[in-house]
């Protein structure tokens, strides 16, 4: 952020200073990744959170939010009737901008934006008392990640009153067997180009990809729930291993697994980013087998899964 400010000052002095503009762009891509835009424009995600917030708040609610971003969810909370929102954002560039957005929309008297990690927020200093409602949207495409478990565990203990409400309440990681559509194959494998055999390159590539699907994937099994995570009580989730059995519901070449998530936001408000069926800002994780498997309908495959504190495999 210090570098970004220096580049901005340099550009103010010399507006066509190309090196400064190139370096500023690199810095800003690191500070504010591009996925923020698609997240804010995700209509289903936004609507689902708004519906949940409307159910969870009342006119006396003190709301604490982890991860301010643009301030959208905080403004939704006030518009839904909450008395006060305190929201924290660890990235100064984003928190400073959120303050401007909140002020521009006329909510600055009821929303406090704090430039801190949630684990650094203090009762009586940053927030007047323990919150009635905790809102967080810091979920990655794999559900866990981005420090969600650590942040929520701490906030539930220190910053949320006993029997306080949370959004989201829980979530489930779902998987299914993945078939070989052209889009998927071109995203995760290389084979031949003309008469040149390039397939050995697959031996040095990753086994887990994050894909933005444009076409409907071929799913070779019913989907199953793997790990279910209670976001009100994250203490029990450190490491969990399970074996899951999937059954092919049609013949086909199986390249690996496709993963998505189902989130219980509040009461009966759910959100599920089913690959391709839902135009979600979250990308689709794909796990590639070491070698594709030719499956027959009815055949079973056992999959070992590992849920760690901040990752899943």
CA dist., res. 301 & res. 102, Å (int) = 51
Tell me if residue 1 is catalytic: no
Cβ-Cβ contacts under 8 Å for 7 (sequence gap 6 or more): 20, 21, 23, 24, 27
Tell the residue number behind the tokens 């006993």, with chain if given. Answer: 162
Residue ranges of the alpha helices (H) in 169-264? 182-188
Q: How many residues does the chain have?
A: 313
* Token pair in block for residue 229: 């995570």
CA distance 154 to 63: 16
Find residue 222's DSSP bridge partners.
Answer: none
Catalytic status, residue 137: yes
Catalytic residue among 89, 137, 142, 272: 137
Residue 45 phi, psi (nearest 5): -60, -50
Choosing from 1, 79, 146, 150, the catalytic residue is: 146
Residue 189's closest CA among 260, 259, 283, 256? 256
Q: List b or e across 236-258, with b for residues whose CB sees 16 or more CB atoms inside 10 angstroms.
A: ebeeeeeeeebebbeebebbbbb
194 Cβ partners below 8 Å, 6+ apart?
Answer: none
Q: By C-alpha distance, which of 202, 206, 229, 204 is closest to 305?
A: 229
Over the Cα atoms of the chain, what is R_g?
22
The C-alpha atoms of residue 66 and residue 160 are separated, in whole angstroms, by: 12
Parallel/antiparallel/unpaired status of strands 84-88 and 62-66: parallel
By C-alpha distance, which of 158, 161, 163 is closest to 123?
A: 158
What are the catalytic residues? 137, 146
């Amino acid at each position: 952020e210090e570098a970004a400010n220096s580049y901005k000052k340099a550009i103010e002095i010399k507006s066509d200073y190309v090196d400064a503009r190139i370096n500023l762009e690199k810095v800003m891509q690191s500070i504010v990744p591009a996925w923020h835009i698609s997240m804010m424009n995700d209509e289903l995600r936004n609507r689902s959170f708004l519906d949940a917030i409307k159910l969870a708040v009342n006119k006396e609610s003190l709301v604490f939010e982890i991860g301010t971003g643009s301030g959208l969810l905080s403004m939704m909370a006030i518009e839904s009737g909450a008395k006060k929102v305190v929201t924290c954002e660890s990235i100064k560039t984003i928190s400073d901008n959120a303050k401007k957005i909140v002020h521009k929309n006329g909510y600055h008297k009821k929303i406090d934006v704090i430039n801190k990690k949630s684990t650094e927020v203090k009762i009586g200093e940053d927030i007047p008392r323990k919150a009635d409602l905790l809102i967080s949207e810091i979920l990655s495409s794999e559900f866990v990640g981005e420090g969600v478990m650590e942040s929520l565990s701490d906030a539930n203990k220190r910053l949320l009153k006993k029997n306080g409400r949370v959004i989201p309440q829980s979530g489930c990681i779902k998987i299914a067997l993945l078939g070989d559509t052209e889009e998927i194959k071109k995203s995760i494998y290389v084979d031949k180009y003309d008469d040149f055999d390039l397939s050995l390159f697959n031996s040095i590539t990753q086994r887990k990809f994050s894909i933005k699907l444009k076409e409907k994937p071929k799913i070779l099994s019913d989907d199953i729930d793997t790990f279910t995570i209670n976001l009100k009580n994250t203490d029990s989730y450190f490491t969990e291993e399970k074996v899951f059995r999937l059954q092919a519901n049609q013949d086909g070449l199986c390249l690996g697994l496709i993963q998505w998530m189902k989130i219980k936001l509040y009461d009966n408000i759910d959100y599920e980013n089913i690959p391709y069926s839902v135009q979600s800002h979250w990308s689709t994780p794909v796990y590639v087998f070491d070698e594709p498997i030719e499956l027959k309908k009815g055949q079973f495959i056992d999959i070992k899964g590992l849920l760690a504190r901040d990752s899943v495999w």
